[in-house]
Structure 1
Amino acid sequence: MCPAHRPSPSGPASDEPSSDEASLDELLLGAARALRRRWASGLGPDLSPHDARALRVVGHHGPTRLGVVAEHLRIAPRSATDVVDRLESRGLVARAPDPADRRAMTVSLTPRGEEVLAQVDAARREGAADFFGGLTDRERASLAAVLARLDDRPSR
């Protein structure tokens, strides 16, 4: 008999999922990937989901240092430099000296970057509405409450 189906002292079967059932982490990661695919399909071929996230960080934090971009993307500062280089080469962001520290640089959106960010945000909203559209209001509220409890980011 499979250990997952072995009778337990408290009842006929274990509460553990069988080997053919997905675990919670697999279900959550699968749902996250499916949601990301939905909104990424609205980005077009010119912008990767990773670059779109970086654009959102820059756009939502105003002129900011590369270290802040790296922190929000949870990547190394050198990797953030590469991402910002790609966005800058496409005319979406611009670097400028940090007025508070002339040795440091900030990055901000260009007018073209603002347009693209608006498209990214619209694609994200549209993808999320489609993805969660099959849930009832009560299911969405329950899911939001559970995910908020699991979120490891500090409060805003």
Structure 2
Amino acid sequence: MTSPDSDGLLAEQLLRLTRRVHRIQKRHLEHRDLGITPAQSRLLRTLAHWGSPPRMADLAERLEVVPRAVTTLVDGLEASGKVRRVPDPANRRVIRIELTDDGRGALRELRAARRSAAEEILAPLTEHQRAALGELLDTLIDGTPARSC
């Protein structure tokens, strides 16, 4: 059984790792000079996983932000040509957001930057340690007990 102090230490380590991941990803993104903020990056990734273009309200719900925040993100991405607003074919009063070709290109660059950052972060680990870490992270994400490592 773990003590409250060891749980606090683990929580602190996770927070420090998260901050390190963000710093490294940011550095890799800056080298690619995409002009995309982390929040815009998250919106682009969310759009990429949607089957048909979502409404702004759907994006706000999925991103767990207020609709006004999505409007600001979409405004910036639309100005740079990465997304566009399109009317819903079934209800022209509803606006949907879709990726443009430039947006898909930016996503490829974002994925490459994330891969580079992951390689840098995981470099000290062996393949066995990476597999064990993956299982542990899955357990923490899913909230289900881990298989033995």
Do they superpose with TM above 0.5?
A: yes
Deviation at 1:99, TM superposition (A): 2.3
Change (3 A) 1:97 1:152: farther
Deviation at 1:53, TM superposition (A): 1.1
Change (3 A) 1:145 1:108: same
User: Which of 52, 56, 59 pairs up with 2:41?
Assistant: 52
Give the structure-1-normalised TM-score.
0.77
Q: Distance in 1 between matches of 2:11 and 2:91?
A: 43
Look up the match of 2:147. none
Q: Distance in 2 between matches of 1:152 and 1:87?
A: 32
Alignment of 1:2-21 (within 5 A): 15-17=3-5
Give the structure-2-normalised TM-score.
0.80
The one-letter amino acid of 1:74's match is: E
Is residue 106 of structure 1 aligned with residue 92 of structure 2? no
What are the ranges of 5 or more consecutive residues in structure 2 without an aligned counterpart? 144-149
User: Which of 78, 96, 112 pairs up with 1:88?
Assistant: 78
Is residue 37 of structure 1 aligned with residue 23 of structure 2? yes
> Which protein shows a greater Rg?
1
Look up the match of 1:145. 135
Q: What's the secondary structure of 2:124's corresponding residue?
A: coil
Q: Distance in 1 between matches of 2:36 and 2:20?
A: 18
Deviation at 1:73, TM superposition (A): 2.1
Deviation at 1:34, TM superposition (A): 0.9
Cα deviation, 1:84-106, whole Å, max 9, x if unaligned, reads: 11111111100001224333211
1 or 2, which has the higher helix percentage? 2
Q: Distance in 2 between matches of 1:59 and 1:132?
A: 26
Is residue 122 of structure 1 aligned with residue 126 of structure 2? no
The number of aligned residues is 138
What are the ranges of 5 or more consecutive residues in structure 1 without an aligned counterpart? 1-13
Give the aligned CA root-mean-square deviation in angstroms: 2.4
Q: Distance in 2 between matches of 1:42 and 1:48?
A: 12
The one-letter amino acid of 1:99's match is: P
Stretches of 4+ moved more than 4 A in 1? Answer: none
